[in-house]
Structure 1
Amino acid sequence: MTQNPPRLPGLGSASLYLWHGRALVVGPGIDSTPHAHFAAQITVALERPFRVRLDAGSPWVSTHAAIFAPNQMHQLDCGGAMLAHLFIDSPQCRHAISSVCDAGYRQAPGFSGVMAALDEARQGRLDIDAAERAARQWLDCAAPQAAESSTLDPRISAALAWIGNRPGETVTGGSLAAQTHLSESRFTHLFRQQTGLPLSRYLLWSRLLRAVEAVADGEDLTAAAHAAGFADLAHMSRTFRGTFGVVPSELRKMTIAFKRDVR
Structure 2
Amino acid sequence: MKLPQQPGRLFLWRGAALVISPGIDSSLHTHFALQLTYGLERPFRARLQADHDWTETRSASFAPHDAHQIDSDGGMLAHLFLEMPEAVKLSGTDLRAAFGTWPEFQALATSLSDNRHQSLDMEAAQHIRQIWQACALPQSQTSASLDSRILTALDAIAASHGADCNGENLARLVHLSESRFTHLFRQQTGMSLSRYLLWSRMVDAVAAVAQGNNMTAAAHASGFADLAHMSRTFRSMMGVAPSELHRMAIAFKQDAI
Same fold (TM over 0.5): yes
Matched, 1:55 2:76: no
Count of aligned positions: 248
Tell me by how many angstroms 1:183 deviates. Answer: 2.4
Partner of 1:247: 241
Q: Secondary structure at the match of 1:25?
A: strand
Partner of 1:122: 117
Tell me by how many angstroms 1:136 deviates. Answer: 3.0
Q: Identity rate of aligned residues, in percent?
A: 48
Residues 31 and 65 in structure 2, CA contact (< 8 A), matched pair in contact too: yes
Partner of 1:20: 14
Q: Secondary structure at the match of 1:255?
A: strand
Matched, 1:34 2:28: yes
TM-score, scaled relative to structure 1: 0.71
Which aligned pairs between 1:168-247 and structure 2 lie closer than 5 A? Answer: 169-172=163-166, 183=175, 203-204=197-198, 206-247=200-241
Question: What amino acid sits opposite 1:59 in the alignment?
Answer: D
C-alpha spacing 1:99/1:126, structure 2 compared with 1 (3 Å): same
Tell me by how many angstroms 1:26 deviates. Answer: 0.5
Residues 41 and 76 in structure 2, CA contact (< 8 A), matched pair in contact too: yes
2:65 to 71, 75, 83: 71
Matched, 1:100 2:94: yes
Q: Secondary structure at the match of 2:96?
A: coil
Residues 34 and 74 in structure 1, CA contact (< 8 A), matched pair in contact too: yes
Tell me by how many angstroms 1:175 deviates. Answer: 5.5
Tell me by how many angstroms 1:104 deviates. Answer: 2.6
Tell me by how many angstroms 1:85 deviates. Answer: 1.0
Distance 2:28 2:185 in 1: 34
Greater Cα shift, 13-22 or 33-42: 33-42
Residues 28 and 239 in structure 2, CA contact (< 8 A), matched pair in contact too: no
Partner of 1:4: none
C-alpha spacing 1:113/1:60, structure 2 compared with 1 (3 Å): same
Q: Structure 1, residues 113-164: CA drift from partner, whole Å, max 9, x if none?
A: 532564587224231x432332232122123255489xxx9xx79x958954
Distance 2:254 2:141 in 1: 22
Tell me by how many angstroms 1:99 deviates. Answer: 1.9
2:133 to 118, 129, 139: 139
Residues 163 and 171 in structure 1, CA contact (< 8 A), matched pair in contact too: no
Q: Which has the higher contact order (CA 8 A, sep 6+)?
A: 1
Partner of 1:5: none
C-alpha spacing 1:135/1:190, structure 2 compared with 1 (3 Å): farther
Question: What amino acid sits opposite 1:30 in the alignment?
Answer: I
Distance 1:24 1:58 in 2: 28
Distance 1:130 1:148 in 2: 28
TM-score, scaled relative to structure 2: 0.73
Partner of 1:9: none
Tell me by how many angstroms 1:167 deviates. Answer: 4.7
Tell me by how many angstroms 1:83 deviates. Answer: 0.6
Residues 29 and 83 in structure 1, CA contact (< 8 A), matched pair in contact too: yes
Q: Structure 1, residues 61-83: CA drift from partner, whole Å, max 9, x if none?
A: 22211122223232222111101
Tell me by how many angstroms 1:17 deviates. Answer: 1.6
Question: What amino acid sits opposite 2:175 in the alignment?
Answer: S
